[in-house]
């Protein structure tokens, strides 16, 4: 790996914080709280791709935060022919954010890898996630200790892959693009977004489903100890 690297920027969800696992457990909890009799796996199988598409629309400024939170639930329930009132969808949306950070599964080796890298590099977060949710996740999963700066899209007013968020993060970290590298799961938002502003990047293909020769890739975070 480039030995001029001084700063490592990480995405949070799907990169360090196991979003799919924690999200599934959160839905299980709030469905039980509100007596919603839906098979969890049936719901998640339709919700997860819908959520993915809403986040893409959100990155592209085509839906608002409020529309994302409502729409992903409404569309998922409609898809499985379950009638849920708008009031209950709004309540579920709020409860989802409240309880999401009560589950804190990280990808295997996260603390070990961060502890190792933290001794040699300055570590930073760049996330498109909602500010209040991301901070709660990081505190509850004991991740704050590793990171010098945290940049989220709500601070900047734009989302990855917009170059403004990467440049904001570089300035906040007092870092230069040529001395930095980005690690994240999303090829468009994290990897190409970073490369477009001159930051090297490593794609974390956590599901081992997006093989490409175009970018550097890892499928396990522990591989970073070999690379750095």
- Domains of the chain listed by start with CATH number: 7-18+106-227 (3.40.50.1000), 19-100 (1.10.150.240)
Query: What gap in Å lies between CA 192 and CA 207, rounded to an integer?
Result: 19
Percent of the chain with pLDDT over 90: 93
| pLDDT of 2 | 67
| pLDDT of 209 | 83
Q: Look over the chain and give the mean of its residue pLDDT values, rounded to a whole number.
A: 96
Query: What gap in Å lies between CA 86 and CA 207, rounded to an integer?
Result: 34
Encode pLDDT of 98-144 as tens digits: 999 999 999 999 999 999 999 999 999 999 988 888 999 999 999 99
Query: What gap in Å lies between CA 207 and CA 14, rounded to an integer?
Result: 10
Instruction: Output the CA–CA distances (angstroms, integers) from residue 40 to 24, 25, 30, 77, 91, in the order listed.
Output: 8, 9, 11, 12, 18
Run of H or E including 148? strand 147-152
Encode pLDDT of 12-40 as tens digits: 999 999 999 999 999 999 999 999 999 99
């Amino acid at each position: 790996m480039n030995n001029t690297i001084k700063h490592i920027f990480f995405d949070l969800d799907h990169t360090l914080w196991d979003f799919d696992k924690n999200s599934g457990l959160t839905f299980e909890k709030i469905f039980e709280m509100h007596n919603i009799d839906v098979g969890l796996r049936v719901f998640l199988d339709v919700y997860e791709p819908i959520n993915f598409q809403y986040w893409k629309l959100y990155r592209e400024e085509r839906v608002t935060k409020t529309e994302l939170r409502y729409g992903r639930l409404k569309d998922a329930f409609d898809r499985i022919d379950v009638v849920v009132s708008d009031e209950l969808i709004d309540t579920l949306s709020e409860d989802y954010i409240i309880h999401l950070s009560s589950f804190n599964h990280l990808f295997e080796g996260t603390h070990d890898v961060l502890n190792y890298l933290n001794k040699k590099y300055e570590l930073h977060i760049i996330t498109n996630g909602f500010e209040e949710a991301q901070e709660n996740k990081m505190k509850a999963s004991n991740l704050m200790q590793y990171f010098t700066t945290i940049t989220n899209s709500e601070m900047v007013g734009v989302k990855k892959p917009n170059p403004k968020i990467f440049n904001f993060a570089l300035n906040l970290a007092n870092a230069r693009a040529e001395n930095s590298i980005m690690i994240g799961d999303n090829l468009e938002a994290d990897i190409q977004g970073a490369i477009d502003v001159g930051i090297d990047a490593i794609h974390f293909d956590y599901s081992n489903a997006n093989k490409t020769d175009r970018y550097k890739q890892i499928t396990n975070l522990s591989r970073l100890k070999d690379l750095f």
